[in-house]
Amino acid sequence: MAQVLPLTQAHLPQMLQVEQQAHPYPWDEATLGSCFGRFYQQLGLFDDNGELLGFSILQCVFDEATLMNICMLPGKQGQGLGKMLLEATIASLRTQGVAILLLEVRVTNAPAIGLYRHLGFIETGNRKDYYHTATGREDALLMELPLHYEARI
């Protein structure tokens, strides 16, 4: 059974491997490493053997979070594991009192857009020519998920 756990910089080599396999224009090691700063949180999805299958990176400022990156190993996609990771990420944010989760996604990434919609994300805008492609650039779809939490007194 896969489990979601916090990541540390010691996981960076594994994260880089997943990133390079999962994305056509992957982040480099320096970019991934920079996401261990003060305002960032990382969660990893591990299999029973301790292999990192995927991860999420959040930037959290006050009561707002942005999903900076989420990816799964290509061979593990389409099995519900990305959903499991994203649901754990959302649950973690709710316990922290975060009010809203923002993200951007390639307009051509239909599986991810479908997952986000299924989990309640709504479309809020578009960033023209945001992502690189093999033939030029493509737009990013902006989405958000209100997390509706009750303030603790």
Structure confidence by residue, pLDDT tens digits, 54-99: 999 999 999 999 999 999 999 999 999 999 999 999 999 999 999 9
* Residue 112 pLDDT grade (very low, low, confident, very high; cuts 50, 70, 90): very high
Domain ranges of the chain: 3-146
pLDDT at 153: 52
Q: Where does residue 4 rank: exposed (0-12), middle (13-18), buried (19+ CB within 10 A)?
A: buried
Output the pTM of the full model.
0.92
**Average pLDDT over every residue of 118-131:** 96
Between the alpha carbon of residue 39 and those of residues 12, 35, 54, 96, 144, the distances in Å are: 17, 8, 20, 13, 19
Catalytic residue among 19, 104, 131, 144: 104
Q: Say if CB 43 and CB 85 are below 8 A apart.
A: yes
* Strands of 100-106's sheet in order across: 3-6, 40-46, 52-61, 64-72, 100-106, 136-146, 122-133
| Higher-scoring residue by pLDDT: 148, 123 | 123
What is the arithmetic mean of pLDDT over 10-37?
95
Structural tokens at position 150: 């009750």
In this predicted model, which residue has the larger pLDDT, 67 or 148?
67
pLDDT score of 148: 76
Would residue 123 show up in a list of annotated catalytic residues for this protein? no
- Which residue in 19, 64, 87, 116 is the catalytic one? 116
Give 69's strand partners: 57
* pLDDT given at position 24: 87
C-alpha to C-alpha distances, 32 to 14, 130, 150, nearest whole angstrom: 11, 19, 33
Helices 81-95 and 110-118: angle between axes, nearest 10 degrees: 50
Q: Is the pLDDT of residue 126 over 60?
A: yes
Q: Is 104 tagged catalytic?
A: yes
Q: CATH for 3-146?
A: 3.40.630.30
